Structure 1
Amino acid sequence: MFIGIAAALVAGTMLGLYALPGKYTSDFEEENKWSLFFVLTMFVVPLVATFSLLKGVGSIYSGIETNILLTMIISSFLWGVGVMMWGKAIDHIGLSLGFSLFIGTVILVGSILPLGIAISKGQSLPSTPALVAILSGIAIVLLGVLSNGKAGLTREADEAAMKSDEGPESSLDASAKTKSYALGITIAVVGGLLATGFNVAFTYGAGPLGDAVTANGNPGWMTAMAVMLPVFLSGGVVMTFYFLYQLSQKKSWGKFKTPAFGKNFVLIFIMAFFHYAASAMYAFAADKLGANGPVVVYAIFNTTCLVVAVLSGILTGEWTKASPGARRWLYTGLVCMVAGVLVLAFGQTLDQAPPTEAVADLVSVLKPAGV
């Protein structure tokens, strides 16, 4: 159990910190940083990890049905757009808000989606105690998302007021910043909605790929790696076309020719490794904790990720110009989302399925869609 809990903490920490090294790149525009990141995290790291660690890769993918693969690819395109928007949101509004708004939206949609699917298929809903707990958790997380949005708008107003006091030219800069904050909040929320495509891809692919993974002598937790390869490759295609366009339109190709490229590459590779490894570590942790593993890991992972991301944003000075009121909204949002995640996890334990069924179902339903 200790190994599973430790792995969940490491996974949450890695995802919470993955974007932090990007704050220390130099001589790169936003397009340079994120295009290199997505090349590494969507193509290089998954391909190297899959072919290095997974046995029988060819056999695993040769047996998957075409309709399942197409569903995974289409869902992965949406997820790719969502993750791309997440990166842009972080550039607009920082780590603290970018993470909390995005992850909060993912948790909300990822929790509501199974209920909607059950209703549409005429399946029975969770028991009354479980349903009350799940809906309560959703409501608490929603309060957290709204509180974080309020924190961002309050911080925006604080910075605009400070710029206004500095003179007319600073007021113009503040106006531009205001638009950037509003756009960043929107991007984070919409990106979180689209990123739930990962859940769909995982739900359709985990069953057949999981059987193939174990049949080829791999541990069950490596199913996540098998699912992630087509998901990451498909999502990466969307990002490749987007950033080719952005780099050309903004004439940013020349920015790669900088003496700081080596340092930037190392920092961005760390980002890519953390981003990918968080998912694999999540699956490993769930496997180690047994039947209730996915529920426990879901709570630990998301709680750790949110806390680490918010604290790293605070420690790197994102909120130094914010008023105490703005910071109170941020802390309130964080507390609500952490509490909501714990309530959701508790609700899932009330109708616990048999061990083998629970692991398969909960990993696909509760898998954090943004990673």
Structure 2
Amino acid sequence: MSFSIGVILVTLGGILEGLFSIPVTKVKSWQFENIWGIGSLFALLLLPWPLASLYVEDLSQLYSSIPNTVLIGIILSGVAWGIGGIYWGRAIAAMGMALGVSILMGLINIFGSIVPLSVFEPSQLATKGGYILIIAVTTMILGVVIMSVAAKQKETVLISKDKSTNTSHVKGSFKSGILFCIISGILSAGVNFAFIFGAPITDEAIAMQVPEYATSFALWSLVFTANFFINTVYGFYMMVKKGTLKNLKKGSLTIEWLGALFMGLAWPGGIIIYGIGANAMGDYGAYAGFPMMILASILTGNLAGALGGEWKNSGSKPRRIMLYGVLTLCVAFILLGYSTYVMNG
């Protein structure tokens, strides 16, 4: 696959990652733990192992050829991503799609791009491509800050317009939401660490003549199992603890179940598509492709929030500031793609 196809796939993966948590803010008769637990269960069962088993004839043979340190590192990265996912859902529930996705993705970008490049390819930081990547990430952070300012101003306007019912616009504490974002941002970057650290698995899949686009499926099976098992157990534990398990009896094809199914497909599906695209972008696709996916997620999450009415009656100033932030992120996206192109020579 060409570099441009890789960019398109990374963008598509980002769109899915920006949309998968929409059901968290839209379900009416389910609580957070219901939609998160069932969505994680679907994600655990529907994609990882069926895909890997379909494309890799002997998974046990593949895994047995990989050093234990690599396998342990992949699984621990998946565990970190899983814990980060729990706080991701809490952050979205507390802060809404627009602000929550912006801050979360900005933090994940830092810990999932610059940090792994410093660990695995430190020499690249001092090259032209590395400098452009740093500039791109800095530009992205600036864009996230601008969008966060816009979202905070929107929150202030909405509260001032309806002081008697201000909690109808702000679903949780802003300070708690920020804390959830920080925890999730650091731990959720584990997904990209797993992708980079798990290169021996994709190399072995190539040696076993697995199709190029499917070489990462065996890797994602391990990562997703760790991540979604943790989120599923957490969701059902909270259902039992809070007595909300009975909410699951509200019909077989309600909006809640369809929302959970969407989460279960879009969440892992976006990462799988990102992995295919990052591989197509070349040796350094994971370092710049990851923040490109994040940018697509931010823009998609904010668009979804706007279409969902999060910016209704907020006034022209917050929306204008948000537009500046969006334009800044578009510049960062172009710089990220160029940095990968340069690093690949």
Normalised to the residue count of structure 2, the TM-score between the two structures is 0.86
Seen in structure 2, the aligned counterparts of structure 1 residues 257 and 106 have a Cα distance that, compared at 3 Å, is same
Question: Which residue of structure 2 lines up, in the alignment, with residue 57 of structure 1?
Answer: 59
1:198-347 to structure 2, matched below 5 A, reads 198-207=191-200, 209-259=201-251, 262-288=254-280, 301-347=293-339
When residues 20 and 264 of structure 1 are mapped into structure 2, their CA distance, relative to the original with a 3 A threshold, is same
Q: How does 1:78-93 map to 2 (within 5 A)?
A: 78-93=80-95
**Partner deviation per Cα, 1:29-88 (whole Å, 9 max, x = no partner):** 111001101111134431222223433222222222222222222221111111222222
How large is the RMSD of aligned CA atoms in angstroms?
Answer: 2.9
Task: Kindly provide the CA deviation profile for residues 300-320 of structure 1, in whole angstroms up to 9, marking residues without a partner as x.
Answer: 644433322211110110111
Contact 2:27 2:256 (8 Å CA) reproduced: yes
Post-superposition shift, 1:196? 1.2
Decide whether aligned partners of structure 1 residues 125 and 206 sit closer, same or farther in structure 2, where only a CA change above 3 A counts: closer
Cα deviation for residue 254 of structure 1 reads 0.9
Mapped to 2, the partners of 1:62 and 1:223 lie a distance apart of 16
Match of 1:66 in 2: 68
Q: Which amino acid aligns with 1:159?
A: L
Partner of 2:141: 142
Q: Which residue of 2 aligns with 1:185?
A: 178
- CA distance in 2: counterparts of 1:62 and 1:320, whole angstroms: 55
Any gaps of 5 or more consecutive residues in structure 1? 354-371
Percent identical pairs in the alignment equals 23
> What do the CA deviations read for 1:180-216 (whole angstroms, capped 9, x no partner)?
2332233223211111112222222222x11321233
Of the structure 1 ranges 177-186 and 46-55, higher mean CA displacement relative to structure 2 is found in: 177-186
Please say if residues 295 and 345 of structure 1, whose CA atoms lie closer than 8 Å, have aligned partners that are also in contact. no
CA distance in 2, matches of 1:296, 1:31: 33
- Equivalent pair of 1:55/1:217 in contact (CA under 8 Å): no
The separation in 1 between residues aligned to 2:293 and 2:68, in whole angstroms, is: 33
Alignment partner, residue 152 of structure 1: 151
Question: Retained in 2: the 8 A contact 1:302–1:341?
Answer: no
Q: For the Cα contact (< 8 Å) 2:206–2:212, is it kept in 1? A: yes
Work out whether residues 303 and 341 of structure 1, in 8 Å CA contact, stay in contact via their aligned partners in 2: yes
CA distance in 1, matches of 2:287, 2:115: 16
Q: Does structure 2 retain, via aligned residues, the 8 Å contact 1:83–1:191?
A: yes
Q: 1:60 to 1:8 in 2, by over 3 A?
A: same
Equivalenced residues, count: 343
The alpha-carbon deviation at position 24 of structure 1 amounts to: 4.4
Deviations 1:104-152 (A, max 9, x none): 212222232145326xx9x535445334323322221221222232223
Residues 222-242 of structure 1, C-alpha deviations (whole Å, 9 max, x = no match): 232111111111122322342
Specify the alignment match of 1:162 in structure 2.
161
Query: Which segment is superposed worse, 196-205 or 226-235?
Result: 196-205
1:356 alignment counterpart: none
TM-score normalised over the length of structure 1: 0.81
Superposed displacement of residue 344, structure 1: 3.1
